[in-house]
Amino acid sequence: MKVLNEKNTILILVGLISLVIIFHLLILFKIIPSEIAWGGRLKTEQEMFVFETVSVALNLFLIWILTMKVKQPESKIINIVLWLFFVVFILNTVGNLFAHTNLEKLFSILTFVLAILILRILMKGK
């Protein structure tokens, strides 16, 4: 029995993405300073609100897509969306490496892990 089967990989992804959502909510509610996110490039509170809201929404959408993947593992549309998220996480990894804050540079590890886990799901059975 494989420990890291597709369902377990999806559970790990949902857990990690949930932590990312919590992080963005903490920024949105000003518990964590927004200067440590988005490469330190946000200039106004309105920019922060838009970026954080979009981030939370996209992460919730990804969790929904992952739950749909469990129910419909062969869906081409779900796989296309997961490929798009894979590309986004790879680009985000590169962007985080060039961030102004060390914390966000550290997040490049997380975004790379998320990309690899999504790739693992997509390559299952290939």
Which percentage of the chain shows pLDDT scores above 90? 72
d(CA 44, CA 34): 10
Question: How does pLDDT run across 5-62, given as a tens digit for each residue?
Answer: 889 999 999 999 999 999 999 999 999 988 878 767 788 999 999 999 999 999 999 9
Q: What is the pLDDT of residue 115?
A: 98
The domain limits of the chain are 6-123
Structure tokens at 19: 């932590």
HSE, side-chain direction, 13 A CA sphere, residue 121: 32
CB 86 within 8 A of CB 115: yes
Question: How does pLDDT run across 84-123, given as a tens digit for each residue?
Answer: 999 999 999 998 888 777 888 899 999 999 999 999 999 9
Helical residues (DSSP H) of the chain, grouped into ranges: 6-28, 45-71, 76-97, 102-123
Q: What is the pLDDT of residue 36?
A: 79
Q: What is the pLDDT of residue 104?
A: 81
Residue 117 main-chain phi, psi, to 5 deg: -65, -40
Q: What is the pLDDT of residue 125?
A: 56
d(CA 6, CA 67): 11
